[in-house]
Chain A
Amino acid sequence: MTDTLRQRLIRQRLPWPAIVAGGLVGLFILAFPFLFTRPFPQHLMILIFLYGVLGQAWNLLGGYAGQVSFGHAIFFGIGAYTSTILLSRWNVNPWLGMLAGAAVAVLVSIIIGYPCFRLRGHYFAIATIAAGEIIRLIFVNWDWIGGARGLFVPMLDESLLNFQFHTTKAPYYYIALTLLVASILVTRWVERSRPGYYLMAIREDTDAARSVGVDATRYKLFAMIISAFFAALGGTLYAQYLLYIDPDSVLPLALSVRICLIPVLGGTGTLWGPLIGAAILIPMAEFTRVYLGGGGGGIHLAVYGALIMLIAVFEPGGIMSLVKRFRKRRT
Chain B
Amino acid sequence: MPLLEVNNLTKRFGGLVANDRINIEIEEGEIVGLIGPNGAGKTTLFNCIAGFYTPDEGSVCFAGEEITGFPPERVCKRGIARTFQLVRVFKGMTVLDNVMVGAFSRIPDADGAREKALEVLEFVGELENKDLLAGGLTVAHKKRVEMARALATDPRLLMLDEAIAGLNPKETEEAVELIGEIRRKGITIFLVEHVMSVIMPISDRIIVLDYGKIIAEGLPQEIATNEKVIKAYLGERYRAAS
Contact = CB atoms under 8 A, between A and B. Distances in A.
Q: Answer whether A and B touch in the complex at a CB cut-off of 8 Å.
A: yes
B153 A208 contact: no
A243 B81 CA distance: 55
Given A204-B91, A211-B81, A194 B76 contact: no
B84 interface: yes
B139 interface: no
Contacts of B84: 207-208, 211
Contacts of A4: 94, 96, 131
Contacts of B101: 197-198, 200-201, 209, 212, 214
Interface residues of A, number: 22
A167 interface: no
Contacts of B113: 194, 197
Contacts, number: 85
Contact of A213 (B73, B90, B109): B73
A221 to B, nearest CB: 14
Contacts of A205: 88-91
A214 B90 contact: no
A207 B52 contact: yes
B105 A210 contact: no
A1 B110 contact: no
Interface string A183-213: 0000000001110011011011101111111
Given A210-B73, A211-B82, A193 B92 contact: no
Interface string B149-164: 1101100000000000
A158 interface: no
A61 interface: no
Interface string B54-97: 00000000000000000111001100011010001111111011
Best-buried of A200, A201, A207 by chain B (most CB within 10 Å): A201
A59 B113 CA distance: 25
Contacts of B131: 4
Contacts of B149: 212
Contact of A1 (B81, B82, B97): B97
Interface in A93-146: none
B100 interface: yes
B90 A200 contact: yes
Given A4-B131, A192-B110, A197-B104, A215 B73 contact: yes
B110 A193 contact: yes
Given A197-B101, A207-B52, A212 B93 contact: no
Best-buried of B71, B72, B84, B94 by chain A (most CB within 10 Å): B72
A203 B101 CA distance: 12
A214 B76 CA distance: 9
A320 to B, nearest CB: 13
Best-buried of B73, B91, B102 by chain A (most CB within 10 Å): B73
A208 B108 contact: no
Contacts of B90: 200-201, 204-205, 208-209
A216 interface: yes
B192 interface: no
A298 B90 CA distance: 40
Contacts of B152: 212
Contacts of B52: 207, 211
Nearest to A205: B88
Contacts of B214: none
Interface string A44-74: 0000000000000000000000000000000
B91 A212 contact: no
B88 A213 contact: no
Given A1-B97, A211-B82, A204 B110 contact: no
A212 B50 CA distance: 10
A213 B91 contact: no
A301 B55 CA distance: 51
A209 B82 CA distance: 11
A200 B93 contact: yes
Nearest to B91: A204
B73 A216 contact: yes
Given A200-B92, A210-B51, 11 more contacts: A193-B109, A200-B93, A201-B93, A203-B92, A204-B93, A209-B101, A210-B73, A211-B73, A212-B81, A212-B105, A213-B76
Interface of A: 1, 4, 192-194, 197-198, 200-201, 203-205, 207-216
